Structure formats: structure tokens, C-alpha cells
Amino acid sequence: MLIQSGIDLNINFSVLDPDPQAPCHQLAPFTCGKLTDYQTVWNFGQDCDLITIEIENVNTVALADLVKAGKKVFPQPSIIELIQDKRKQKQFFKDHQIPTADFLLVENKSDILDHKSYLPAVNKLGREGYDGRGVQMLRTEQDLPKAFDAPGLLEKLIDFEKEIAVIVSRNENGVVAAFPAVEMVFHPEANLVEYLFSPAQLKEEVAKQAKEIAEHVIQSLGLVGLLAVEMFVTRDGQVLVNEVAPRPHNSGHQTIEANVTSQYEQHLRAILGLPPGDTSCTCASAMVNVLGEEGFTGMARYEGLNEVLSLAGAHIHLYGKKQTKPFRKMGHVTLVDPDLESLKTKANFVKNNLKVKS
Ligand SMILES: Nc1ncnc2c1ncn2[C@@H]1O[C@H](COP(=O)(O)OP(=O)(O)OP(=O)(O)O)[C@@H](O)[C@H]1O
Ligand SMILES: [Mg+2]
């Protein structure tokens, strides 16, 4: 999606990805290699003028050396490093007066057992947890045996009304632009965003607060590029930052069809030192992730494509992944429709009819 958007700006891409069948492998000169390997990242960067990332799990030492060697790397390696570790991220929020759930740093399981009084809490791995895999709820003492035995966090469990995200960009001149907030609905088991509605239905002052917080976060980080700021809205209208991601994000896919500027174009504008585009919504929209059906692993086969394509305002994005497995993100569908009820009906229709099996 980033490449699609870059074509309009005359950008030549090269891609590094560990999967030889990565969705982009036929779209641009492709290097298959480990993103976490110093030499691989260093070598790849030699032929680029500017390097950006779409996953935080990357060798930041190599990226920092590329900066020293005169290459532009956005987002900046030091910020990727900070965000890679949820512990550092939370500490950063605290140090910069960014509202966030109260937390404790924990080193291992026995440390967690010593803080029973902190429950109900959310236990998060400091590093390498993503898509809900490094996060678990510890509601009562009965949940303690499953606590992670690794450096992480215990966060107070927030009884939120909504989860929202604001995607914000900043270029090298410090010009910041925020997209309107979106509202996320999570899959109860997979911990993945299942639907998303844009714009989020929020009271004006809550929407304003969310926007200001997102802008404050990106300014405090000094990040160049795109930042997705995931937030909770509590029942009394407080906005708390959950976590941030320094790249185009799942919660911004709908911007391709439903905003004047897409998050991908905005990311490119930011890292290329161009002015930001208009972030306004052109229409209300919903985004549904297309996940691998439970119980199916193997060559992907899609059911219900015709039915979904027949819906007014439906746009299908398949990621070109050959293999499906339960809950693997295989694509997404954006629905544009000015009527919120109709959007919800269509989102449910997509969810119930579009299936990825093997
Ligand atoms: N303090 C909290 N209180 C209540 N719920 C929480 C808390 N922290 C996280 N959650 C829930 O767990 C989900 C996943 O947490 P988080 O976003 O930190 O993990 P993640 O693995 O990075 O997820 P992803 O990669 O999907 O964004 C959140 O979206 C939210 O629904
Ligand atoms: Mg998250």
C-alpha cells in the first residue's frame, strides 16, 4: 500500500523482507533477509537515499550506523528503539506528562506474584509482543500462574468505554497533522482489531483532547514520519494513551478511500520533507480485517468475495499472502457509507460472509 502510494510521487522503492513470498516481492526490487540482522540491514541501506520501516522489530544499530554514514532514516532509529520496548515507551509517557494507565515495571513472574494487590491488571511483555500476543489480562489471583516470566509491565486494567486511535504525522520542519480519531472494536479472543469506524463517535471535547494528546506525543518524540497513537476513552471522558506505533497502521487503512489523503501518502510526505496533506474524512467508513478462519491452515482460498464486492461502497484489499492460518491478517475491506447503521450492517455482512479457508 505504501508502494502504491509512492508511485504517484515518482519514488523508486527497494524492499527488504524476511519472507521470500512477501506481498511486495513482485512490486519492487526485492531483498529477502532478516530485518533483525545487522549486516543485512546495513547492506540493504547502502543503495538507498532514504530508509523507512513498517515493522518495529528491526536492527536499530544498523539503522543508526546508516544515519552516521549520511543516510536519512525515518522514523529515527532511537525512536524505534524506544518504542520497541513497551517499558521504555510507558516511562516516556510518564516523563512527558502524557496521560496513560498507571503501571509497574516487572522483571519476572515472581516479581508479579509480589504485586498481587495490583490486580486486576494487564501484564505485557516489554519486547517483541505484537498483535495481542504479548498481552494478557490478570484479573484475579487465579490468573497469576500464566503471568509472563520475562521483563514487562503490570498496567492497571482500564475499564474503558472506547478504544480509539489518532494517526499523526510530522515532517523534518516540525509540521504536524492529525487524522480524525477512529474507533476500534477488538476481536475478543484474537486481541486483533476486528472492525474500525471512522470518524470515531466522540464528544467534541474528547475528540479535541485526543487530537492534542497525539500531537503532543509526536512533538515530544520529535519523530519524523507517521505515528499511530492508540488510546482509551474512559467512562468519565478521560483520554489515556495505550501505546504508539511509528508507521502506517492497521487503524489507518480506511484513509485510502475515506480521507482526502491516505496514511501512506502522509507517511511519504512526512519522510520526504513535503507538506502534510488534508486529513479530513470524505465519508464515514468502516474497516474490517480479513483474518484467516479458525481451523484452516494452508493455501488460502477466499469465500464470499462476490457477495462483498456487490455491496455498495465496499473496497477489498487482499495482501497477496499465499498461506492462511487462524487469525492471520490476509487483507482488509473498507466500507464507505454516510449512514452509520448501514455501515455496521455491512461490516457484519463482511465479517459473516468473507472467509479465508484452505
Ligand atoms: N491497561 C489496559 N486496560 C485494559 N485493556 C488493555 C490495557 N492495555 C491493553 N489492553 C487491551 O489489550 C489490547 C492489546 O494491547 P496492546 O495494544 O498494548 O498490545 P499489542 O500486542 O501491541 O497490540 P497490537 O499490536 O494489536 O496493537 C488493547 O488494544 C486493549 O484492548
Ligand atoms: Mg495495540
Asked if 168 and 229 count as a contact pair (C-beta separation under 8 A), the reply is: yes
Comparing CA positions, the residue from 15, 13, 12, 5 lying closest to residue 55 is 15
Q: Ligand 1: which of 125, 191, 240 to mutate, judged by most atoms within 8 Å of the beta carbon? A: 191
Comparing CA positions, the residue from 286, 285, 288 lying closest to residue 351 is 288
Ligand 1 atom with the smallest distance to the CA of 184 is 29
At 341, which amino acid appears? E
Phi, psi angles (nearest 5°) of residue 40: -65, -45
Distance 322 CA to ligand 1 centre (A): 28
Could you tell me if residue 194 is left (phi over 0), alpha (psi between -120 and 50 degrees) or otherwise beta? alpha
Output the pTM of the full model. 0.95
Distance 156 CA to ligand 1 centre (A): 12
Ligand 1 atom with the smallest distance to the CA of 134 is 21
Per residue in 83-104, pLDDT (tens digit) is 999 999 999 999 999 999 999 9
Model confidence band, residue 238 (pLDDT cutoffs 50, 70, 90): very high
Residues 6+ apart with CB under 8 A from 105: 87, 91, 151, 152, 153
Ligand nearest to C-alpha 240: 1
Residues 6+ apart with CB under 8 A from 68: none
Give percent of the chain with pLDDT exceeding 70: 97
Q: What span, in angstroms and rounded, lies between the C-alpha atoms of 328 and 320? A: 12
Phi, psi angles (nearest 5°) of residue 149: -95, 60
Ligand 1 atom with the smallest distance to the CA of 193 is 26
Distance 250 CA to ligand 2 centre (A): 10
By alpha-carbon position, which residue is closest to atom 16 of ligand 1?
132
Q: What span, in angstroms and rounded, lies between the C-alpha atoms of 194 and 59? A: 30
User: What burial letters (b/e) apply to 249-262, b meaning 16+ CB within 10 Å?
Assistant: bbbbbbbbbbbebb
By alpha-carbon position, which residue is closest to atom 24 of ligand 1?
131
| Residue with more model confidence, 195 or 154 | 154
Ligand 1 atom with the smallest distance to the CA of 124 is 18
pLDDT higher than 90, residue 218: yes
Q: How many CB atoms lie within 10 A of CB 55?
A: 12
Residues 6+ apart with CB under 8 A from 183: 162, 163, 164, 196, 197, 198, 200, 201, 202
- Predicted confidence at residue 132, as pLDDT, reads 67
Per residue in 119-170, pLDDT (tens digit) is 999 999 999 776 667 999 999 999 999 999 999 999 999 999 999 999 999 9
Ligand nearest to C-alpha 232: 1
Q: Is residue 184 packed enough to be buried (19+ CB in 10 Å), middle (13-18) or exposed (0-12)?
A: buried
**Which of helix, strand or coil describes residue 17?**
strand
- Predicted confidence at residue 129, as pLDDT, reads 72
- Predicted confidence at residue 193, as pLDDT, reads 67
Ligand 1 atom with the smallest distance to the CA of 186 is 31
Asked if 122 and 99 count as a contact pair (C-beta separation under 8 A), the reply is: no
Per residue in 199-217, pLDDT (tens digit) is 999 999 999 999 999 999 9
| Ligand 1 pocket by Cβ (under 6 Å) | 101, 122, 124, 129-132, 134-135, 155, 157-158, 163, 186, 191-192, 230, 242-243
Q: Pairing between strand 323-324 and 298-299?
A: antiparallel
pLDDT higher than 80, residue 190: no
Beta bridge partners of 100: 241
- Predicted confidence at residue 128, as pLDDT, reads 78
Greatest Cα pair distance in the chain: 57
- Predicted confidence at residue 164, as pLDDT, reads 97
Per residue in 252-290, pLDDT (tens digit) is 999 999 999 999 999 999 999 999 999 999 999 999 999
Q: Ligand 1: which of 135, 143, 161 to mutate, judged by most atoms within 8 Å of the beta carbon? A: 135
pLDDT higher than 90, residue 187: no
Q: What span, in angstroms and rounded, lies between the C-alpha atoms of 87 and 260? A: 36
Q: Ligand 1: which of 85, 122, 157, 289 to mutate, judged by most atoms within 8 Å of the beta carbon? A: 122
Asked if 119 and 138 count as a contact pair (C-beta separation under 8 A), the reply is: yes
Ligand 1 atom with the smallest distance to the CA of 132 is 21
Could you tell me if residue 225 is left (phi over 0), alpha (psi between -120 and 50 degrees) or otherwise beta? left
Which helix H or strand E contains 264, and what residues bound it? helix 263-271
